[in-house]
Amino acid sequence: MDIGRKIFFKQVGAKIAYYRTLREMPQDELAKKAHVSTSTLSRIERGRYSDNLSLLLLLDIADGLQIDIALLVSFNDLERQMWWRGIPRN
């Protein structure tokens, strides 16, 4: 997997963890709402579940967090700079 995809999945996972924490929601509660195991959600939040992160799973997570899915997959300039600093882009 190329570096761009790895960074993307880490960014998505960090956003999921951020919104979950913001709502003071334990991982097991969000996992239940998203119909996944707690260990799967943990891997997603750490960017370690990058092989097959489906749109449907992201929709379930966004629904569980009561947010628009766009918040999980869109990044502003500051977020891009934070993650891409020092990494050459093609």
Domain segments of the chain: what residues? 3-79
Q: Where residue 46 falls among pLDDT bands split at 50, 70, 90?
A: very high
Contact 15, 25 (CB under 8 A): no
Q: What is the pLDDT of residue 59?
A: 97
Sign of the CA dihedral with 55 first, then 58, 64, and 70 last:
negative
On the question of pLDDT at 47 being above 70, the answer is yes
User: Options 3.50.50.60, 1.10.260.40, 1.10.3720.10, 1.10.287.110; which CATH number does 3-79 get?
Assistant: 1.10.260.40
What is the pTM (predicted TM-score) of this model?
0.85
Q: What is the pLDDT of residue 6?
A: 85
The pLDDT tens digits of the residues spanning 10-36 come to: 899 999 999 999 999 999 999 999 999
The pLDDT tens digits of the residues spanning 60-86 come to: 999 999 999 999 999 888 877 776 665
Q: Give 29-37 contacts, CB < 8 A, sequence gap 24+.
A: 30/61, 30/64, 30/65, 33/60, 33/63, 33/64, 34/60, 34/61, 34/63, 34/64, 35/60, 36/60
